[in-house]
Every structure is written in C-alpha cells, then in structure tokens.
Structure 1
C-alpha cells in the first residue's frame, strides 16, 4: 500500500530525480569503482530510498521501523544526509511553487504567517520546552502562505520561542522560494501574537502592509484573511514526521519541512487544475487515490 497516491508521488519523484542528477552531475555507477576487488555490493537505487523517505515523512516512523530487505536504515540516513547537503528540499519546493504559479497562479498580494507547535521528543537543534505540553520537548514551525494557503516559506525553532522573532526569517524564506518576485502592494495578515512595534517596523522595512489582530479583541471578530495559514498548518500536520519530529539535525529537519511543503503544493495544484484542465491521468474525484 503506497504512502501517497501515485498521481502525487510520480511528478514529485520526476522533479526530485532531475534535481538530484543536476546537483551531482549525472547518475552514479551501480558499483563502487574504487573497490580493490571489484565486488562491492550494488548501490541501492535512489527511487527505492526515496520511497522509504516518503514512508518516514507520512507515517512518522523511525528509520529502523521503515527499513526493509531492499533498503537498510543506515542507507536511508546516508542518502538523506547527501540530499540535505545538496539542498534538494528547498529546491524541490521552489520547483513546485513555480509550477503552481504557472498553471494556477500564486496569490502573493496577501500573505499569512502563523506558528504551529508540534512534538520533538528526541531533542536536537530545533527543540525546546513546550509551554502547552508540560515543558516536554517541542518544535515551533512558522509558515508563510499566499492568499489561498500555499506554503511559501518555513522557519523552525524550539517550542519556547515566541512567534514574533520568527516572522523575519519566515518572510525571508518566502521571498527566496518565490525568487523575490513579489507584487508592488503586499498585505501581511497576522494574529495578535505579532501585535507589537517590532513587527510593524519589520513590515515597514520590507515594504509590506500589515493587517494585525489587536490584543484583547475576540478572534472571531477580526479573523480576517489569515485563516488560510491555519488550514495549511492542518495540511502539513497530516504528515507524521512533522507532528513528531525525531531528527535532531536542523538541516535534516528543514529538508523534511520543505519536502512536506512540496507535497502540499503539488496536491493543491492537482486538485485545482482538475476542474480547469484535462489530461490522461487526471483524478476523477477530489480525493486523490
């Protein structure tokens, strides 16, 4: 049983494989040519390792649990470390955003940013005592989305970090992922956690208009357009690795965050394009199978 539908997995794998070959200069040999006896074990194909990584992302299981006779947990760790060094997570997400913008169109005139706290029981670079979980290890994920809820940029820190200091790296990541091509007038929709002079000065420096909820005013009265980022946080929490982050290295964590963001982007691309365009493998139902 595949972890994700084939109509979602195949386009992501094709782009990921192309980026991987571009970064390393081609397909590596099946055998280690430097082995003195010429009898080294065959190299595990990248597609096999990629499917195991997707299993880890979707189910949130450790590498020992998802390892199989075709791919060991050590191979998964080594290959993920290699992909992280090549920056494939961010590059794959940028390609997905470019495809979405070409086919559907990003709504960059409205940006929404919000944080989401999840578990990080193993500690690490992006873990801290969670204020909502009896100071157990937790991670805070700050996400910037467009007007529809497509994830643009992500920043992560310990769960004890406030939302406001994460606004700057989140917006910078969003601008980087879209190639810095932003419209002249952009409005940032934020909740009451960002209601401070520091946030308004940052928005002024970036040339953004701010629609910030006021502290002390009930949320339903001033919900505005920022509800889309709450929906995006729900989409991304559907991946077990993000709900319970067991990796400790910050670069590996960012790789999984952007890999999940790429899946969210492509899923929404397929669902919104399904009613506008026709192609041979087009899903016939809204639910991707």
Structure 2
C-alpha cells in the first residue's frame, strides 16, 4: 500500500520483519523495561529515511542512545542483511527475480568521518569518500552490494560484487543464459575474464553506444540503466547521501536496510 511518509512502518511490513528480530539478551540482573522492538525498528527507519543525526532523534520516537544501541545490537546479530535476504527470497517467489539480464555499477559518496573502506575521492578534490558497488537483476532489484574506498577502481570491486549475491543464484544454461551489463569503465581483459569465469555473457557499453544502438536496432532495449536507477532509489534514504558512520559495519547495515525496504515496498505493491 502506497505511503506518503516513507519512514512509517506499516502493519503489513512489520509482520514481515517481526520473525527476523533477534532475541533480546538475558536480563537476569533486572533493569529498565526494554524498548518495544517495533518502536525501535520504526525509529531506525526514521533515521535512515530522513538522514537525521542520532542525537537529534525526536524524543517521542525513543531515546537516541537506546535506539542507537539497538541498531548496534541488531547489526552484530546480522539482522539487516537477513532481512534483505528474506525480502529477496519472497520477491523471487511472488514476482520472480529477472536473472537473465543483470547489471553492475559503482557510485561514490562523501565519508567525512569514515575510517575503514574510505579513500581519496578522485571526483571530489581528493576528499575522503566511499564507493559502493551494486549488482541488480533486470528490474533493478538489488542482489549484491559491497563498499570500499572511493579511490578503488570499479574493476577491483567486480569480483566481490558478483560473489556477494545474498541468495542462491541459479546456474546459467543455454536455454536460460545470464547476461551482465557494464559500462565502459569495466572494459578490458581482466574484467571480461572474471565475468565469463562466472558464466555470464558480458555486455560492456558506454551510454553513447547504448543510445546509438537504440536508434539503429529496432526493438533494442537499453538495460544497464536499471542499476543506476537503483542507486538513485537507495539515495532516497537520506542517511546514505553522505556516509556519517565511522564503522563500515554500520554503514553496510543501513545499506542492507535500504535494500530490504525497497524490496518489501515492491512486495506491498504486488500484494
């Protein structure tokens, strides 16, 4: 069901999320009552979608220190990646992942406080930045995502991206081949060898070549753009426009959560 405020957690989505919430730690020594899991999850989504700093979290959503502690607790338990994986599995059952045409592309963002997985951004006067490498299916559904320093070449991240699919990838066959669309930055023997060794058929094109093919070839459909659109979808979660997290694990947790929300939103539409 469409929502105008994307940070709100609908009843339908919470029912999907609830089974994956990690069990609460033992409270044998007593202490204050634990914050409700749904309230904590909603507050984390609010931070993700609005980009607000932890210490600026509205008090009615919960104490910022408590919500941040729950975020850290769930990150260490692998909750956010598990939620993304569960969303992909359900999406595959309901709609079907379009394995035939996949696409990879990288995107860079500033990382003023980041430590691990950062580097001098060559497009931002050498300032500290992070690059995320994303693999999507033919409809732009995120299948794999890795991060590294902004100075890391896309080709160096390709192997980790292709090997990082969070659900089981079906084996390509002659009847059901799998194509991989890449931009001209991946052109070269090393990238082609890595792609072909994983039984993909590489399609390496610049944006200009794609436009020319669309003009010259009747019925031609440009396919690489879907991964660029997914980067844009992810950036709607304003917390990810700039990497404020010092720990790369926390940054990845927010990315995994954004991927999960994207997929569950589409599942609500199909439902």
What TM-score do you get using the length of structure 1 for normalisation? 0.82
**Does 2:6 align with 1:4?**
yes
| 1:34 correspondence with 2:29 | yes
CA separation of 1:69 and 1:268: change in aligned 2, threshold 3 A = closer
- Partner of residue 142 from structure 1, selected from 122, 133, 137: 133
Counterpart CA distance in 1 for 2:206 and 2:35 is 54
Query: How far 1:68 moved relative to its partner?
Result: 1.4
Answer whether contact 2:43 2:61 (CA < 8 A) is retained: no
* DSSP-derived class of the 2:99 partner: coil
Is residue 153–residue 171 contact of structure 1 (8 Å, CA) maintained in 2?
yes
1:245 lines up with 2:246 in the alignment:
no
Alignment of 1:41-52 (within 5 A): 41-52=32-43
**Secondary structure of 2:21's match?**
helix
Map 1:88-237 onto structure 2 (within 5 A). 88-174=79-165, 177-184=166-173, 185-213=177-205, 218=209, 220-221=211-212, 224-237=222-235
TM-score when normalising by structure 2: 0.87
Contact 1:131/1:160 (CA < 8 Å) preserved in 2? yes
CA–CA separation in structure 2 for the residues paired with 1:232 and 1:270: 18
Q: 1:28 to 1:70 in 2, by over 3 A?
A: farther
Give the aligned partner of residue 278 of structure 1. Answer: none
* Deviation of the 1:213 alpha carbon: 1.8
Change (3 A) 1:2 1:68: farther
Mark the CA change 1:158 to 1:226 in structure 2 (over 3 Å): closer, same or farther.
Answer: same
1:84 and 1:255 in contact (8 A); partners too:
yes
Distance 1:157 1:138 in 2: 9
CA distance in 1, matches of 2:120, 2:10: 35
* Distance apart, 1:19 and its partner CA: 1.1
Query: Residues of 2 paired with 1:120 and 1:60: CA distance?
Result: 14
CA contact 1:56–1:66 (8 Å) conserved in 2: yes
Number of corresponding residues = 259
Gaps of 5+ in 2: 215-221
